[in-house]
Structure formats: structure tokens, C-alpha cells
Structure 1
């Protein structure tokens, strides 16, 4: 009997240990299940929250951002959290676990405008890489960089040409010639008064008996044309110019923007040329310009990115002015490289100088003729571009448009002399080339400006701001499980 009793006590001890182990295991499994359920609830809450992305940004700009204003006018983190919590609580109520949400909040979030817009920039560049692929990126690089240097040099040459004193020197020579002519007439009149010969004999005495041929000097005509509005000269009458304006003071580039709360995964500053080319290609694909105006807000959005003015007219005027300098630089170089045309210029300059009795001024007159001819040719180029045609980057004898004989008749010849070059560059191509010299900061800020203007033009979105748009959130919640233990879990979600 004693032997039987000893065995029972031993088994009892073993069973108590086993029971303790089983209970501990059950509690551990229960805690693990509770933690998994809590993590799942937070994941579902974040997924559901970020599933409410701004549909207009996605449809029009292929961008994923959450409207942090939740339909209001300012960032509302409380409302965003309540929205997320409404998806968390139903998940916590599932199964037999007694889970109670005690508190929660956001421990970090990224806004589109954070790091001077680098968050926005990174998403755009990522989108373009996925859209174009590696081959498309290489093709884009080759297309733009080939023409960048020559266009930049041409604009510099055009500025130097316009800033020179060519026409001022011409005016000074003509004034001197005019004064000398007046003085000669006075001397002639005095000489006539001092003679006893008849008026007929006096007249014949001052006549050389030879009728000099009349030479048309185009320079005064071109000087008057240069004083005209450039837009009036180059914009097609049928298309007109948009009169849309915007309040720049309310746009992102002119106001203080909100900043997010630092969290892991903040983007590094990307200043690579490839990324900048991808970004400006994105702008070209989605922003309106004079040839293809936007439907809402400013019509000429690409021109705004280049010029930064508050109206379509001012932006177009500044861009066309830059285009004129580029074309003048190119055309003057092409003209001076053409020996036939320069021979014509030299001959006409000598004839004008001789007609004014100032042969030494032929060099100055020749320089003025080159300037005027280059300007007139550039006006035809711009008019063709704005009509939707193409213009060769570099001119030669075969694609030069305006002859020296027709230079005085530029206004009458603007639509009969201009030519479309199928293998040339379009207006949009020139916009892209000009964007290459624009700073990343200006392109980024003004691009975001135009997105804000576009979305604000829609009903109910008048208060839209990109610095209210959220790209990523880090959230943390405290949940009590089975009235025993409180779990704290943290999760992140990002569109990129």
C-alpha cells in the first residue's frame, strides 16, 4: 500500500508541472495570437487609410498622395487618425480575444513638400523610370543633351548681339551724315547767293549730270518693326492669347509650407542629371503650353515654369523673348558663315554708305544689316513655331527663308516666306531645351504650383494644398489584451 501511495504523489507532482507548462503555453499562444491580431488591425487600418488616395492627383498626374486635409483647408491629423481607428476597432473585436484599444497616434509622417519638395520629386522620378524603362531613359538623355550646348551658346550669342551697340553706332553715323548734309546745303545756298549767274546756271553748276540709282535702306524699317510688340509679330491672329491669370501669393512657391514629422525612409537629395531630365519630361507630358493649352487654371503651364509670371500673356511674352535670342544667335552665326549672303550685305552696305556720302561707315552699316536680317529671319522662325511648324536648329542656304531684297517688306512677307522643316525642332522641343538651364528648385516649385492651380479650379477643391498631402505615415497604438497585458505596436506605410 505504501508503494502505491508513493507512485500517486509522484504522478501528482508530474501532472502539476505539466499543467503549469500547458497553462503557460496556452497563455503564450494567446498572447502571440493577440499580438498578431493587433498588428493585423493596425496594418488593415493603414492600408484602408492609404486606399483613400487623392483620385484627382492619380488620374491627372499619376501621383499617390493622401489628402491630409480630409476635405478641409488645413492638415487634420486628428481626423486622419480617427479615420484609421475606425478600421482598426472592428478587427480587434474578432475572435475570442478581449482586445481594447487604449490609445494611439502618429509617430511620424511625410508630406509631399518635405525636404524642399524632394518627397514629391522622388515619386515623380520613380513614376517616370517605371513608365519609360531603361531604354527610354537613355533615348531621352541622348535626345536632349545633344542640343543643349548649342542652344545655350546660341542664346548667349543672341544676348551679346542685342546688348551690343550696333544700332546705336549706326544711328550715330547717320546723324553725323545728316548734319554734314545740312551743312553742305547751307554752304551751297551761300555760294548761290554770292554769284551773279542765273539760277539755271547755278543749278547746272552743282549737277554732276548723272542720276544715281535709288538704294532701299531696310535698317530704318527694321528699327521700327523692332519697336513693335513681339507677340503681335509672331502670334497667329487666329489662335490669339489666353488672358488667364492666377494669384501667385497663394501658391506653394510664394508661401511658407508645412513640414512633416521625421520618420525612417526620408529620401536623399537627388541632383543627378538623369533625374532632372526625367522630371522635366514628366512636366512636358502633363503640363499645358501654347500649342496644347491646359483645360483648367493657367493655360500655358510650361511657360509659367520657365517664366514664373502670374498670367499666360506675361509668361508667353518672356518665353518668346528667350526664343528670339536663341534664334538670333543661331541665325546670325549661319548668316556670317554664308559667303554669298555676306557678299550681298557688303554690297548693300557700300551702296548705302555711298548714298549718304560716308563710305567709311560701310562697316558699321554692314553690322547693322546683319543684325536686322538675323532678327527678321528669327521673327519668321518664331511665327512658324507658334503656328505649329518646325524650324531647323542650324540654318543653311537651302532652308534660309527671307532674302535681303525682301527684308524691307518683312511685315508683308511673314506668312509667305516662312517654311516648315519636317526634321527641325518644334515649339515643345525648344521648351524642353530651355528647361535644361532652369534650376531644379524653380522647376520643382513651379511644377507644384501648376498642380495646385489645376486642382483648385475644380468644384470643392478650392483649398487644395500640396503641403497637406501625405506620402507616408508611422503609427503606433496601445492595446490591452484580455485585461492582462498591454501591447504597443508600431507600423509604417508609404506609397513609395
Structure 2
């Protein structure tokens, strides 16, 4: 039996609305799925792109960056975007969405040297924080603060001692004494000649008168000051560097470095780089430099061997940078040793006694105080030469010495050159050469440390085979991309995503 069915107009209208709603829902889901697929495609493309980080840069210097030069020496953004698209297309081809890229481009990017090196600086600081941990960071900061305070006080004392013109005043007094002595001598000779002339007229002899040609000659006293004055004019590196160790004569062209040439610049991104000038960050950054770059005691590779010395000195040759550090070390040690001498009653009494003897010998007793000041400065200088020599030889020197740690006696001060042929006394406790470098780095301006640090890192990378054209300003660390994708030949989606190494 066949039953006939019927449908009302109202039911037909309801069904049409339901079917239309279902179709709209299905289409909405398809578009949402398409958009999600596009976003996933762009994310995976960015992840894959930044997964091509420079492995040598990461291995040697723990820095994440993509070489965006395309094996050349210039930024190749077109190649970067093409690489990004090549990773997106397989993702967009999945399922049956029929997704196709219409347009796309790079909306912003950041290079390792951007923001005056702040990108480079902050990536290093983050790495060091993760490596040391909060406890290690605090211990490192506390140690560096203590060393910095003591060293700055010593350097200030050394500068005051040098600027006090003790040797200049001494030279002036001695010159004046010599002139008076010469005048007295000439006057005495004139009197003798007149007496001889008178006695000759009377038929007598000068010897019978008791003069016998006697001259006014200063009493002989071993004065070490002229010896030290001559030594101060000698080459400082010849005085303080171990004779059995060669020194680098390498030079570089500063206009070819990161700090000296015109750099590639990134495009601003939505998130700005905020400056970090905290003391903790600077301590972490300089610890990184000490770990990764070379110095006199542990030469680095690349254009210069004394890389930490370059960061502090900024000269284009290893010799000039080493000389600047030697001067700084000598100034610090001279300040410390002068203070130690002033506080040592025994050695101060020795200097005072010798000063009185010298003043009496040159017939200028009032100048004993001036001569004593010059002796103290010369004695501190001689001791400091031995200290700096010890540091360059790899030994330790206490920041502040006691009487038992003093090396140079006042009697041996004129023989400083012979004594300096050795390496000096090496104490079990004290600061090493690298410790002083860290203190000097902490006192240096942040921008200098950042720019010169990038200089040395780039040069070190260029020393490897195949990396001769490496440039830090073509190293990509962040990118923001925007892509227009058509879905099912109906609707276009514009998506923007960014990725950066954090």
C-alpha cells in the first residue's frame, strides 16, 4: 500500500532556512580552518626559517642568528622571503582548501647590530643569566663591586701621585742647588786666584797658604732618583713584559670593523627594544667577553690577539692596546704602593734618612722634604714595575701589600733594571692579570664595550675558513612577515606573524 505524503509551504520555508544555515556554518568552518591553516603555515615557515641559525656562531659564541647575506656580503631579504614561502607552501597544500599565496612580504626585521648593538648586548645578557643562574649572578656582581672600588681608589691615588709633580719640584730644587754650588765654586776659585796673585807678588806659594786647589764638591751619596728618572723614559713594554715571551705585532683597519663602517639597518617592528643599562647586565656582558675573547695571557684568534685590550684601548694594533693596559696597570699599582709606603713607618724612616743625606750632601737641607717625596714616588714606581711584570708573567699580586710582601728595598732601587730581569714575586693570593682586565672593563662605558665587542667577535668569525666575508650586520635575529592568501578561490586572508630569538 503506497502512502502519499505532502509538505506545506511553511515547512518548505523552514527547511530552506535550516539548509541555508547549515551551509553557512559549514562554509564558516571551512574558512576558519583555512585561516588556521594559513596561520600554521606562516608559523611553521618562520620556525623553519629561524631553525637555519648560524651553527658556527652558536657553537663558538652562543649567539642565535640567521645569516641573511645569502653567502655574500650584503643583506638578501628577497632570498629570506623566498625561503619563508618555500616552507609555507607544503603546509598550505594540505587538505582540500585550495590555498594559494597572492602577495607577501617582510613587514619588519631586526639585525644583530641594530639599536647601536643593543640587540647583540641583550642576547648575550640573557644567555649569561641562563648559564649562571640568579645566585651566580649575585656572587659575580658582589666580587666585581669590591674589586672595582679598591682599584678605582688605587688608580686615583696613582694619578694624584703622578700629577703632584714631585719629580718636577725635585728637579727644580736640584737645579737651583747646582747653580748655587757652581756660583759658590766659581767665587771660591776667584778668591783663590786673587790670593795666589797676591802671594806670588809677595814671593809666597799657594800651597803654603793652605788652599791647595780645594773645590766645593757635594758629599758622595747614592741617589737613586736620577736612575729611576732615566728608567721612566724607557719603553714600558720592554720593562714589564717577560723577555722569553713574544708579543703580537698584528694590526687592523678600523674603518672595516662594525664600529667603523656604515651598517645595514633593520625595519622597525611592533615590539621595540628597550635599553638595559643595569650594572648586573654589564657585569654579565663583560664576563661573556672574558670567556669568549682573547687577551695577552690567552691570545685570541682573528685580526687581533689581544682582544680584551682592544675593547679597553681601542687602538688598531696589539702593541698599542697592550701598552695602554700596561700604563693603566702601572698607575694602579703605583697608587697602591705609594699609599703602602706612606703607611709603613719603617720604610718611611728609611726614605726620610736618605732624603736628609742627599739634601745635606748637596748643601740644601731645607729641600729634604721635597727629596723625600720624590724618593717615595720613585720607590713606588720601582715596586710597581715588578708587580706589573709579575701580572704579565701570569702571577698574582695582592691589591694591597703588607710589609712581608714588599719586593724592592731602597738600597736596591738603583739596580731596578737588574732586578726586573726576573719575573717578580708570585703570591698565592691576590689578583691576576685577567682580574684587573675585568675591573677595567666594568669602569669602561657601555657603548664602547658593545661596539668594540662586536668588532672582535666579527673578526674572530672571519678567521675561519669560508667565513672571510662574515658580517654581523647581516645576521637576522627577528622577523615580521605579512602574507595574503586566497582560500578556495573565494576569499583572501591577510595574516601577519613575527618570530624572534629570545
Q: TM-score, normalising length from structure 2?
A: 0.93
Provide the residue aligned with 1:234 in structure 2: 240
Displacement after TM superposition at 1:465 (Å)? 2.2
Query: Is the CA contact (8 Å cut-off) linking 1:402 and 1:417 kept in structure 2?
Result: no
Structure 1: stretches of 5+ with no match in the other structure:
none
Provide the residue aligned with 2:300 in structure 1: 294
For 1:198 and 1:386, locate their aligned partners in 2 and report how far apart those are by CA, in whole Å: 67
For 1:355 and 1:329, locate their aligned partners in 2 and report how far apart those are by CA, in whole Å: 30
For 2:218 and 2:25, locate their aligned partners in 1 and report how far apart those are by CA, in whole Å: 119
Query: Is the CA contact (8 Å cut-off) linking 2:42 and 2:497 kept in structure 1?
Result: yes
For 1:393 and 1:165, locate their aligned partners in 2 and report how far apart those are by CA, in whole Å: 25
SS in 2 for 1:412: helix
Displacement after TM superposition at 1:437 (Å)? 1.4
SS in 2 for 1:398: helix
- Deviation digits for residues 128-151 of structure 1, max 9, x if unmatched? 100110110110011010121221
- Deviation digits for residues 193-241 of structure 1, max 9, x if unmatched? 3233545445667879xx9974211011111100000000001111121
Provide the residue aligned with 2:377 in structure 1: 371
Displacement after TM superposition at 1:298 (Å)? 0.8
Provide the residue aligned with 1:316 in structure 2: 322
Aligned length: 492
Provide the residue aligned with 2:25 in structure 1: 25
For 1:450 and 1:212, locate their aligned partners in 2 and report how far apart those are by CA, in whole Å: 58
SS in 1 for 2:7: helix
Provide the residue aligned with 1:473 in structure 2: 479
SS in 1 for 2:106: strand
Query: Is the CA contact (8 Å cut-off) linking 2:118 and 2:275 kept in structure 1?
Result: yes
Displacement after TM superposition at 1:192 (Å)? 2.8
Larger mean Cα displacement after TM superposition, 142-151 or 130-139:
142-151
Displacement after TM superposition at 1:468 (Å)? 1.6
Query: Is the CA contact (8 Å cut-off) linking 2:218 and 2:363 kept in structure 1?
Result: no
Query: Is the CA contact (8 Å cut-off) linking 2:242 and 2:423 kept in structure 1?
Result: no
Change (3 A) 1:269 1:383: same
Larger mean Cα displacement after TM superposition, 412-421 or 78-87:
412-421
Query: Is the CA contact (8 Å cut-off) linking 1:345 and 1:366 kept in structure 2?
Result: yes
Query: Is the CA contact (8 Å cut-off) linking 1:192 and 1:202 kept in structure 2?
Result: no
For 1:257 and 1:46, locate their aligned partners in 2 and report how far apart those are by CA, in whole Å: 25
Larger mean Cα displacement after TM superposition, 26-35 or 57-66:
26-35
Provide the residue aligned with 1:305 in structure 2: 311
For 1:9 and 1:191, locate their aligned partners in 2 and report how far apart those are by CA, in whole Å: 153
Out of 392, 398, 401, the position equivalent to 1:392 is 398
Residues 1:126 and 2:126 aligned together: yes
Displacement after TM superposition at 1:417 (Å)? 8.0
Larger mean Cα displacement after TM superposition, 418-427 or 161-170:
161-170
Change (3 A) 1:13 1:40: same
Larger mean Cα displacement after TM superposition, 180-189 or 352-361:
180-189
Displacement after TM superposition at 1:25 (Å)? 2.5
Displacement after TM superposition at 1:427 (Å)? 0.4
Residues 1:445 and 2:451 aligned together: yes
Query: Is the CA contact (8 Å cut-off) linking 1:52 and 1:66 kept in structure 2?
Result: yes
For 1:291 and 1:198, locate their aligned partners in 2 and report how far apart those are by CA, in whole Å: 73
Provide the residue aligned with 1:177 in structure 2: 177
For 2:276 and 2:177, locate their aligned partners in 1 and report how far apart those are by CA, in whole Å: 61
Query: Is the CA contact (8 Å cut-off) linking 2:355 and 2:369 kept in structure 1?
Result: yes
Residues 1:252 and 2:258 aligned together: yes
Provide the residue aligned with 1:266 in structure 2: 272
Provide the residue aligned with 1:145 in structure 2: 145
Alignment RMSD (CA, Å): 2.1
For 2:35 and 2:135, locate their aligned partners in 1 and report how far apart those are by CA, in whole Å: 47
SS in 1 for 2:287: helix
Q: TM-score, normalising length from structure 1?
A: 0.95
Structure 2: stretches of 5+ with no match in the other structure:
none
Larger mean Cα displacement after TM superposition, 19-28 or 151-160:
19-28
Out of 329, 340, 348, the position equivalent to 1:334 is 340
Larger mean Cα displacement after TM superposition, 153-162 or 346-355:
153-162
